[in-house]
Amino acid sequence: MNTKKMKLWAVSVCSLVAMIGLFFLPKIANAATDIGLEIYKVTDASLPNYENNGYDKPAALANAQAMSGAKFTIIDVTSNYYDVFYPSKATSTTNPKDIYAEYVRIIQHESNAEVMARGVQVGSETNATDVNGFTSVAQLPTTSNGKDAIYVVLETTRPPAGHQANTGSEVATTVIGAIPTIVALPMFDQAGKELSTIKVYPKNEVGALTKTIEKKDEHVQRGQKVEYTITLNLPNDLATELKTGANAGKFKFASFAVNDIPGKGLTFQSFSKITVSSGVEQSLADFEKDYDVTATATPNAPFAGDGVKKAILSIAPKSNQYQANAKWANLAGKVVQVEVICEVNDEATVDTSIANKANYKVSETNGYEVVPAEDEIESLTHKYVFQKNDSITGAALAGAKFTVSISNALVDFVKVSDGVYKVATSGATGIVTELEVANDGTLTLLGLDSDVTYTLVEVVAPTGYRLSLTPIDFSPTAHDKNQTCGTFDVATDLPKGNNQTDGYHNIYNTPDTLLPSTGGTGMKMYLTVAVIGLSSAGVFMFMKQRMKRKA
Considering the domain architecture, whether residues 392 and 343 belong to the same structural domain is answered as: no
Identify the weakest region by mean pLDDT among 13-27, 96-110, 341-355, 421-435: 13-27
pLDDT digits (tens, 9 = 90+) for 302-324: 998 888 888 889 999 999 888 87
The pLDDT of 284-294, averaged and rounded, is: 94
Domain range for 431: 380-509
Q: How far apart are CA 235 and CA 253, in angstroms?
A: 9
Domain boundary among 206, 226, 254: 206
Considering the domain architecture, whether residues 24 and 153 belong to the same structural domain is answered as: yes
Considering the domain architecture, whether residues 353 and 424 belong to the same structural domain is answered as: no
The pLDDT of 239-263, averaged and rounded, is: 83
The pLDDT of 137-143, averaged and rounded, is: 89
pLDDT of residue 11: 31
Considering the domain architecture, whether residues 385 and 459 belong to the same structural domain is answered as: yes
Number of domains in the chain: 4
Considering the domain architecture, whether residues 246 and 221 belong to the same structural domain is answered as: yes
CATH of the domain at 255: 2.60.40.740
Q: Which helix (H) or strand (E) holds 266?
A: strand 266-276
pLDDT bin (cut points 50, 70, 90) of residue 31 is very low
pLDDT bin (cut points 50, 70, 90) of residue 237 is confident
Domain boundary among 343, 358, 373: 373
pLDDT of residue 104: 84
The pLDDT of 266-278, averaged and rounded, is: 87
pLDDT of residue 514: 56
Q: Which helix (H) or strand (E) holds 287?
A: helix 284-291
The pLDDT of 65-81, averaged and rounded, is: 89
CB proximity list for 255: less than 8 A, separation 6 or greater: 314, 315, 316, 317, 362, 363
pLDDT digits (tens, 9 = 90+) for 477-491: 654 433 433 578 888
The pLDDT of 465-488, averaged and rounded, is: 70
Considering the domain architecture, whether residues 390 and 315 belong to the same structural domain is answered as: no
Q: How far apart are CA 387 and CA 443, in angstroms?
A: 6
Considering the domain architecture, whether residues 50 and 84 belong to the same structural domain is answered as: yes
| Centroid of chain to Cα 213 | 7
Considering the domain architecture, whether residues 16 and 136 belong to the same structural domain is answered as: yes
Identify the weakest region by mean pLDDT among 38-47, 147-156, 320-329: 38-47
Could you write out the DSSP letters of every residue in 400-462? -EEEEEETTEEPPEEEEETTEEEEPPTT-SSEES-EE--TTSEEEEEEE-TTS-EEEEEEEPP
Query: Which candidate, 172, 262, 177, places its Cα nearest to that of 209?
Result: 172
Q: End-to-end alpha-carbon separation of the chain, Å?
A: 132
Q: Is the peptide bond before 186 cis (omega within 30 degrees of 0)?
A: yes
Identify the weakest region by mean pLDDT among 73-82, 164-173, 240-249, 363-372: 164-173
pLDDT above 60: residue 49: no
Considering the domain architecture, whether residues 30 and 150 belong to the same structural domain is answered as: yes
Give me the count of residues in the chain.
551
Domain boundary among 373, 401, 436: 373
CB proximity list for 231: less than 8 A, separation 6 or greater: 208, 209, 210, 211, 212, 335, 336, 337
pLDDT of residue 4: 36
Helices (H), 380-506: none
pLDDT digits (tens, 9 = 90+) for 416-438: 889 988 888 777 788 899 999 99
Considering the domain architecture, whether residues 195 and 54 belong to the same structural domain is answered as: yes
pLDDT bin (cut points 50, 70, 90) of residue 161 is low
Considering the domain architecture, whether residues 117 and 226 belong to the same structural domain is answered as: no
Share of the chain above pLDDT 90, in %: 23
Considering the domain architecture, whether residues 108 and 8 belong to the same structural domain is answered as: yes
CATH of the domain at 466: 2.60.40.10
